[in-house]
Structure 1
Amino acid sequence: MKFDLSNPPKGFARCSVSQLVAADKMVFQVMIEKGVKPKRSTGGDCAMDTELLEALHSYQVSFGLMPLPAKAEKEKEKEKKKTEVPKNAFDKNAKGKGKGKGKAGVRQRFFKIPQAIYQKGGVAETPAGEAICFSYNLSHCANGPDGGSCAKGKHVCCKCFGAHGIKDHGS
């Protein structure tokens, strides 16, 4: 029976680059374990030259170069599907898969701004991160003075953060 050493047996994969790198490291590890010195001896011969062939034929190195079982076709298809980019992935009209998570450990607040405030360019928070009372800005909030605050937030303008409502901004 003749063996074809250039091709792996059926059901096994060719030797990978990572196996070759690991085997190369193992060759030098075997020589280190034997105590082989890289310097030439006084006679002029190098111990590494003679020990290298023995290290290449060692059990540890040969075992690292054995063909591994090939991946099943289904696994290859699954990996291919994971790495493939859909044709419309970069389409401008394609929707994303969700909202970003933001910075880790930071609680993000989301305020729904009333349309009247949004149209005038107002915001929901002061630069310091304090909530702004929308009732004060749209009509009147009796729960606190101008520039003060209530349970809903600070009584400041949503646009310039002055001690007036956005309804009085610019007048």
Structure 2
Amino acid sequence: MALSLRRFISSSPGLHHSSGQVCRLRRALYGLKQSPRAWLIKYANEVIHRVRLTDTKLSDTPIELNVKLNTTDGVPLDDPTLYRELVGCLVYLTVTRPDLAYAVHVISQFVSAPRSTHWAALLRILRYLRSTIFQGLLFSSTSSLDLVAYADADWAGDVNDRKSTSGFYE
């Protein structure tokens, strides 16, 4: 148990500690149904506050309908470090927030050379996250949990290289 807790602490985002330190838990990490939700809501809030969004704008969707981001629109960012870090944080959040998956996939294509249009798309995702912070998936103990799969594809939909994009969700 101690080894698995050490791995959890060392791999936990936002938890800083020195080597050789031991963490004393005030509450149980496991066993409570609200534990993962509390951890991820706190993590999502930290990601939102990292950008210091001061406006009150909210977004109903994580990405604009039919948006076509490319590598040439907008101005290159002076320092792409924050963009890259935030995209990584959002990728981590897609584990429990599948509604963010497509939008994060789109902006993650530009981490090598992000531009102002990509930054605006990232801010929209964060505004959507802020407006839906208390929403999540609920699996009732009485639900049938039937396996349902969805698939979609486009044909040459990427404006940069005309490659097709496909995906599935089970």
TM-score normalised per structure 1: 0.19
Pair member with larger Rg: 1
Structure with the bigger percentage of helix: 2
